[in-house]
Amino acid sequence: MADTNKLTVRLVTPDRILVDQTADAVEVPSKSGYLEVLYGHAPLLAELGPGEVRLHGGEGGDQRFNVARGFVEVLPERVTILAESALKPEEIDTAEAQKDLDEGRKLWNEAGDDAEKYDEANAVIREAESQMESAQGHS
Amino acid sequence: MANVLDLRRRIRSVKNTRQITKAMKMVSAAKLRRAQERAVSSRPYSAMLASVLESLKRRIDIYDPETGDAKHPLLRTREEKRVLIVVVSGDKGFAGAFNTNIIKTATQFLDKNGKKQIDIEPIGRKARDLFRRRYPAAKFAEQNQGEHAGSARPERQRGSGTEVIGDHPGLLEKLSFDAVREVGEDIVDRYAHEEIDAVYLVYNEFKSVIAQRVVVEKLLPIVEFGKHEIAEAREMTAEERAQAGEAALTAGISVQPGEAEADIAEFEDEAKKFGTADVDYIYEQPPREIFDAILPRYVTSQLYHAMLESVAAEHAARMTAMDAATNNATEMIDDLTLTMNRVRQAAITKEIIEIVSGAAAL
């Protein structure tokens, strides 16, 4: 490759390899907040939170993917994102996300004193909210 | 001997049957191709999970220094008193010995572990129907809305030693990771709460059309990452292999890994290095946390992979069975045609003899 200052970005889901290309920069939603990775980033391993992976300066222009449940490995010249679900904004079913959101809120109200159930409900809510946001950002 | 008309009718009926089996074979072949693709493209993901776990393992002490027990509940080995077996069968019949083999393997396993308390979690309609008939369903006490509402897990009321638990209709038909995740999380949950001491998975492993076997795989506790812990296996016989190979050939399915698969294989090799680069990673979260978050996902991904392979194997088995049926029908048609011609010729000869001898008598 002529341009050596490009990152190789891969987005892998259990079903397929969704993205395998180069980009200038990639934004990744880690559990504790978004981080942007450029070429030459220090090696890093992080758990993903629900949010958007954004590719900048990739082959097909800027791209966005809504991801949830996974983690990311960063090496100086390569970023690999593993996610259990990864959707393009136009693939998101807003009705489904809304249903999940309601479901999550219901769980939250019913959780009582159980910390485990609270965490679970919060996870469902956050995931649904992030999907809704991605979908709206698209339209 | 049957007359010509009867034989002609039978030939027609067998021809119809042959048409149906041939169509079924082609449909299965098409479905197999898709299922195979899915099974193959899910490999990098599970390989990556395994390798990242392996590398994390080296960085944190997963064993308690005092007791020597694993810290994470999913790695802890307990005495196997209560065992869960997940039986992955097909949804439909007409697939040769596919379902029979799986159920036989599962039943053997049950017999061998007769003294333990066993829960059977059937996936796929065939296994569900059969085990439902044989064993009672698990009963749970009604969640009482009193003092421990919400916090307590439903209490199990055990009747007999072996019970059927869970129901997943249509899971295999439209296999999605999300649906499998729910099943996986449920199993992990039960294991972590010590309701079960071990989890085995009975399914048909599928490497290619001619490399398959029914296996009993230990899912939990996790012994080693990236390795399948096979407790028992039933290989294909040479005859089955030859039949499957022939069926694949006539349906235009390659038994050798294709080009796309070679690409994936290359990727898989790379995947094995995932997260294991010899550098000091910055951990966004403490390694322990990442490890704990990934472990349950690893179980789910194994479960998902097993189901994908099982679906592919089911289609392959159906394709082989339908190929054999088509061949049998062709043979039968040949036989019947021969008999029919013979009967017709006999009738003609008889008539000629009658005419000739009639003329001679004049």
CATH of the domain at A31: 2.60.15.10
On the question of pLDDT at B143 being above 60, the answer is no
In this predicted structure, what is the pLDDT of residue B65? Answer: 63
In this predicted structure, what is the pLDDT of residue B226? Answer: 66
For A111, B172, B176, B188, the CA distances from B124, given in Å and listed in that order, are: 33, 6, 14, 20
Residue from A28, A84, A87, A113 to probe the interface with B (highest B Cβ count within 10 Å): A84
What tens digit of pLDDT does each residue of B167-179 get? 888 888 888 888 8
Q: Is residue A2 part of a domain?
A: no
Percent above pLDDT 90 for chain B: 23
DSSP type of residue B73: G
In this predicted structure, what is the pLDDT of residue A64? Answer: 85
Cβ of A45 within 8 Å of Cβ of B290? The answer is yes
Q: Could you please report the per-residue DSSP string of A14-49?
A: SS-EEEEEEESEEEEEETTEEEEEETTPPPEEEEE-
What tens digit of pLDDT does each residue of B275-305 get? 565 667 788 778 778 887 888 888 888 899 8
Q: What's the domain count of chain A?
A: 2
Q: For B38, name the nearest residue in chain A, comparing CA atoms only.
A: A15
Residues A12 and A52 in one domain: yes
Residues A111 and A46 in one domain: no
Residues A108 and A122 in one domain: yes
Q: Domain range spanning residue A42?
A: 7-87
Residues A22 and A49 in one domain: yes
In this predicted structure, what is the pLDDT of residue A139? Answer: 46
Give the fold, CATH level 3, of B4-142+153-342: Pyruvate Kinase; Chain: A, domain 1 (3.40.1380)
Residues A80 and A33 in one domain: yes
What tens digit of pLDDT does each residue of B90-116 get? 888 888 888 999 999 999 988 888 778
pTM to 2 decimals? 0.82
Average pLDDT over residues B65-72: 66
Q: Which residues of B touch A85 (CB under 8 A)?
A: 177-178
Residues A71 and A32 in one domain: yes
* Backbone dihedral region for residue B318 (phi beyond 0: left; psi -120 to 50: alpha; all else: beta): alpha
Residues A96 and A53 in one domain: no
Average pLDDT over residues B56-60: 73
The average confidence (pLDDT) of chain B is 82
The average confidence (pLDDT) of chain A is 81
Q: Which residues of B touch A69 (CB under 8 A)?
A: 297
Cβ of A43 within 8 Å of Cβ of B46? The answer is no
